[in-house]
Amino acid sequence: MKLRDAVNIGDLRSIARRRVPHFVFAYVDGGAEDEVTLRGNCEAFARLRFRPRTLVDVSKRDVSTQLLGAPSALPIVVGPTGLNGLSWRDGDLELARAAAAAGVPFAMSTVSMSLAEDIARQAPGRLWLQAYVFADRRITDALIRRALDAGFEGLMLTSDFPVAGKREGDLRTGLLPTQQFTLATRLDMLMHPRWLATVAMRRPRFVNVERELPPGQNVNSFVGHGMFDPSFRWADLRHFRDLWPRKLLLKGVLRADDAQRAVAAGVDGLVLSNHGGRQLDGAISAIEALPEIRRAVGDRPAILVDGGVRRGSDIAKAIALGAAGVILGRAPVYGLAAGGAAGVTRAIEILADEFDRTLALTGCRDVGELTPDLIAPPSA
């Protein structure tokens, strides 16, 4: 199948699976332990049913919206994902370019393989930084200041990563924790000559982190010995609020009481997330947590949802239940692995078309008409 023939995100996933070595696809596609949470994210969307309005004039529709106070062509964010340079050369930059071209925000991961400054210069658009809190807080602070200087408009502080989840697929291939590849993985690489000739010519490097390491320390030793800070707690949130004068989001919220506490601490937005099923296996999905959290925090702050979004109808369901939009993780990366920036663009086009169709078929003319009454009660 060629890229232009992909009619849904599943098709892009199939193309990506063939194009890259197994260890790359396993990293993108997999989750923690038994992958209960990974599957549950998609299943939770599938359980939701629409109660569409009928006999509504939907001949003119508008899929644009406002995210964090600024226009977005769609209610989506191309979200933060790691090791994108394994899926396509300069993968993070290609994701950012496609997002900018589509008129939607791009959130760069702390462990991006492209420098924040390069992305800001070569893919000007709405840029957010997803920040992990490292055991050496000076590195986190330095990355945040660089993003601020580069013109990033949002900081997405990640709270659900005190330790890394047990991603068994990555352990089996040897990708994690320190890229000690198995013989089978090395042979698989040889079966993908095009990937070897392009992507594999550059060893994965966390270039933004690398720039901030003290003399004598390399990325491998940093990653292998207590990279993340398990002591990160509520009292520390004030430091980051003071450090970042622009829009601040807290990512990893799944409880109403935590959401209320985050709002009281001064965040501008919440990202409901279980890290795409890559951390705690058995966690509730973001879409399941959404209604209770929306009731708890009222109309503000902005709420974004991630995890399991594979259809434009999923975007509509999230908005109907109270989200301002969704953050896309795997969907654009499937496109990236399938065909670089063109593949990411295709992923966005597919979701945009499905979302627009869902608006029409539910009797909605714009994002604001997606309301809770369009979703059937769980007992229905």
* DSSP category for residue 378: T
| 379 in a structural domain | no
Q: What is the per-residue DSSP string for 74-99?
A: SSEEE---S-GGGTSTTHHHHHHHHH
CATH of the domain at 142: 3.20.20.70
Is 132 part of any domain? yes
In the chain, DSSP finds a helix count (H) and a strand count (E) of 16, 10
Give which of 25, 2, 342, 332 is closest to 189, Cα–Cα: 25
Q: What is the pLDDT of residue 185?
A: 87
How many domains does one find in the chain?
1
Q: Is residue 70 part of a domain?
A: yes
pLDDT in tens, the chain (380 residues): 889 899 999 999 999 999 999 999 999 999 999 999 999 999 999 999 999 999 999 999 999 999 999 999 999 999 999 999 999 999 999 999 999 999 999 999 999 999 999 999 999 999 999 999 999 999 999 999 999 999 999 999 999 999 999 999 999 888 877 778 888 888 988 999 989 888 887 777 889 998 998 877 776 666 655 688 999 999 999 999 999 999 999 999 999 999 999 999 999 999 999 999 999 999 999 999 999 999 999 988 999 999 999 999 999 999 999 999 999 999 999 999 999 999 999 999 999 999 999 999 999 999 999 999 999 998 64
State the pLDDT at residue 186: 87
pLDDT of residue 364: 98
Strand, helix or coil for residue 133: coil
| Catalytic residue chosen out of the listed positions 22, 192, 225, 275 | 275
Q: Is 239 a catalytic residue?
A: no
Q: What is the pLDDT of residue 226?
A: 62
Q: Evaluate whether residue 357 is within a structural domain.
A: yes
pLDDT 10s digits, 133-165: 999 999 999 999 999 999 999 999 999 999 999
Which residue range is the domain that position 351 belongs to?
3-374
User: Quick check: is 338 in a domain?
Assistant: yes
The backbone torsions φ and ψ at residue 29, rounded to the nearest 5 degrees and listed phi first, read -90, -25
The one-letter amino acid at 347 = A
H/E stretch holding 269 reads: strand 269-272
Neighbouring-strand partners of residue 272: 253, 305
